[in-house]
Amino acid sequence: MLLNIEHVRCLIVEDDPYKLDGIKAYLISVFAGRLNVSVCQALASATALLGSQTFDLAIIDMSIHSHEPEAGSGSPFPLSSGGLDVLFEIVHSENGGNTPCIILTQYPDIEIESLPIPVERAKEEILDKFDIDVAGCCALSGKRQPMEGRPLCNFGATMKILILEDENLKYEEIATHVHTVIPDATLQREMNWLDYTQALANAKFDLILLDLLVPRSAKDGTIEDHHEQLVEATRHYQSKSFSTPAIVLTRLSLDEGDFVCNLNFVDITVIPFTDHGEWRDALKRKLLAAQPNKKFDVVIVCALEKEADAYKGLGDTWGQVTTISGLICREMQVGQYKTVIVRTQRMGLVSAAVTAALALERFEPRLICMSGICGGVAGESEIYDLLVTQFCHQHDAGKWSASGFKAEHYDVQLEVAVQNKLVELAADSQLLACLLSGLDAGKTEVPEGKERVNCNIKTGVPTSSGSAVIAEDGKTTTLAVGQRKLAGFDMEVYSVFEAARHATKRTAFFAAKAVVDDGGKNKGDSFHRIACLLSAKFVVATVRFGVADVFKD
C-alpha cells in the first residue's frame, strides 16, 4: 500500500503546467512530506529516466510530445497516445511491473490502436489488448473542490473536430498536423459514411475534416465516392453541426462541373490532399479561424498589475499571463467556477469600459466584477475599509463654463438579487476573520493611530468614478455634494457597471475596493498591498458563495 511507504517515489509525465500543478498539489495533500516527485514532459525524457530509476507510482498523461524542445533535436511532435508508450516502458522495465500506473486525459476518449475508446472503458481495453492492468484511466474534471483532495481542471473551450478518414497513415498525418496547430484539440474519428452521418446528428463540432472515398458502413466495406451525398448529409437542417465549417481533404479529382463552386456556398472547402503538403497551410488557416472562443463563468477586472497579482494563491489554480481575444488575462479556477482576471490597458473610465465590454462579449460570463484600491471620504470610510458599491456615480461628466464645472448626474445601481447575496455573505461572522488572516502587516502598513490592521465591510454604499485622480485635500467634499453618504471614489467602477448593464446576456456585476486614502492624514503606497489582498479575498469569497448563479435559472 502506498500509504504505508515511507518515501513515495512518483513519476509524473505531463507537459501542461496547469495540469501538472494540480496533480502535484493533490499528491502533496495525500502524501504530505513523504512524496518524492520526478517530472517528465515528453516520451524521450520519460524513457531515459525509466532506464535508470524505478517508481512506486506513475501518473501519465495520454497525449504528450515526442521530446522536449532542444537545440539541434528538431521540433517536438504530438503523440496522441504517447502515454501508452510510457506505460509499456514501465511495465517492461526491471521491477516496473509492480508500479501502479494511472492514465490521465482531458479528453472523453483515449486512442488505442487508432481507435477512440471511451475513458470509462480504456482500463478494460488496455488489459484485453496488452495484458496490462493499469490502476485506472481518468478524465480530468473542470470542477473544483476545496483545497484538500481537489481534482484537476481543464481550462477554456477545447476545439472539437470530427474527422472522416479510413486510411490510418493519412489520418495520422492529419491528426499530427492538427495537434501541432491546436495542441489540445479533441479529435473524433469515423471510418465510414454511416458512422459519419450519425456523428453529425448527435454532436456539435467546431470543424469537420473528411474524405469522400470511404466505406459505406462498418459492416459494408465497399468504398464509394460520396460527393453527391456530401451536402445533404453535412448540411442537414436537423444536424447539430449544421453550420460547422467543413473541409474535404481528398486525393480524388473533383473537376466535375460546378460541384466545388457549389460547396463554397454552404461553407464546405475542398483542399487537395497531396504528398507535397500544400494542404497544411490551408488547413492551418481554417483551424485557427474555427477555434471556439473561451468561455468563463466569472470575469474579474483589475486596473493595476498589483491588484491582479493579489489573487495568487487564493484560487485552486493560477495560470500564466496570456493574451486571450486581445485582452491581457490570467486564468484561475475558484471552486467550480472558471475564472479569468482581465487587466485594463490603463487606468480610467474609457479603458475600463472597453475592457469590460470586450470581456462580456467574448467570454460571456455569468458574473463580472472589479476589485482593487480606491480613495475614501473623510468621516465615511477609513483605511482598509472594503467598499462594496451599491450605487456608483460618474463625477467627471458635465460641462465646463466660465463659472466653473457643472456636473451631469449619471449613476448605476446593483441588481437587487446581487445586492442581497452580497449582504448575506458580508453578514457571515467568519468572513472578516478570513479576510484579515495571513496579512503579515509591516509597521508602515498599519495606519497612523491604529494598533493593528482592521477592515469594515461596507455593503450598500454609494461611490463615485471619474478618470482623474483626486489628490487635493478637500476635493472629496466637493464630490459629496448632491451624493448623500458618498463613501469613496475610484477611476473605473462606473464603466464596468454600465458595460454589464448593457450586455447582451444578463450578467451579475459588483465591485469591491479597499480604501488606501481616507481623505485625511492616512494615504500612500504603503497601504496598497494589503488593500489589494483584502479586496481580492472578498471577491474570491463571493465567487465561492455563488454570486455568479443569481441569474442562472
Q: Are residues 450 and 362 in the same domain?
A: yes
Residues 407 and 517 in one domain: yes
- Compute φ and ψ for 462, nearest 5 degrees: -85, 140
Is residue 152 in some structural domain?
Answer: no
**Contacts (Cβ under 8 Å, ≥6 apart) of 14:** 20, 23, 39, 41, 59, 60, 61, 64, 104
Fill in the amino acid letter for 295: K
Whether 304 and 234 map to the same domain: the answer is no
Residues 177 and 118 in one domain: no
Residue 190 lies inside a defined structural domain of this protein: yes
- Which residues does 237 contact at the CB level (< 8 Å), separation at least 6? none
My answer on whether 173 and 134 are in the same domain is: no
Residues 446 and 350 in one domain: yes
Q: Where residue 502 sits, what CATH number does that domain have?
A: 3.40.50.1580
Specify if 153 maps to a domain.
Answer: no
If asked whether residues 185 and 97 sit together in one domain, one would say: no
Q: Is 102 left (phi over 0), alpha (psi -120 to 50) or beta?
A: beta
Q: What is the CA radius of gyration of the chain?
A: 28
Residues 118 and 195 occupy one common structural domain: no
Burial 133-171 (b: 16+ CB within 10 A, else e): ebeebbbbebebeeeeebebbbbbebbbbbbbbbeeebb
CATH of the domain at 6: 3.40.50.2300
The dihedral through the CA atoms of 279, 285, 289, 292 has a sign that is positive
Assess whether 348 and 471 both reside in one domain: yes
Helix (H, G, I), strand (E, B) or coil at 528: helix
Do 191 and 243 fall into the same domain? yes
Shared-domain flag, residues 448 and 544? yes
Q: Domain range spanning residue 92? A: 2-139
The CA distance from 512 to 534, in Å, is 9
Strand, helix or coil at 170? helix
Residue 270 lies in a domain: yes
Task: Please list the pLDDT of the chain residue by residue as tens digits (553 residues).
Answer: 566 677 888 999 988 777 787 788 778 777 766 788 899 988 989 998 888 888 889 999 988 888 877 666 666 777 778 889 999 989 887 766 688 999 988 777 788 877 778 888 888 889 888 888 888 888 765 443 333 333 333 334 578 999 999 999 899 999 888 888 887 788 899 999 999 988 888 888 999 999 988 999 988 889 988 877 888 888 877 778 888 889 988 886 655 545 565 676 777 888 888 877 788 888 988 888 887 778 899 999 999 999 999 999 999 889 889 888 788 999 999 998 999 999 999 999 999 999 999 999 989 999 999 999 999 998 889 999 999 999 999 877 767 667 766 667 788 999 999 999 999 999 998 999 999 998 988 989 998 888 899 999 999 999 999 876 555 555 544 554 455 578 999 999 999 999 999 999 999 999 999 999 877 777 888 999 999 999 999 999 999 999 999 987 6
What are the grid coordinates assigned to 313, written together? 494563491
- For residue 242, being part of any structural domain is answered with yes
**Sheet containing 160-164: order of strands:** 186-190, 160-164, 207-210, 246-250, 268-272
Report the number of distinct structural domains present in the chain. Answer: 3
Whole-model pTM above 0.75?
Answer: no
Q: Indicate whether 365 and 478 sit together in one domain.
A: yes
Q: Tell me which of 290, 325, 345 is where a domain ends.
A: 290
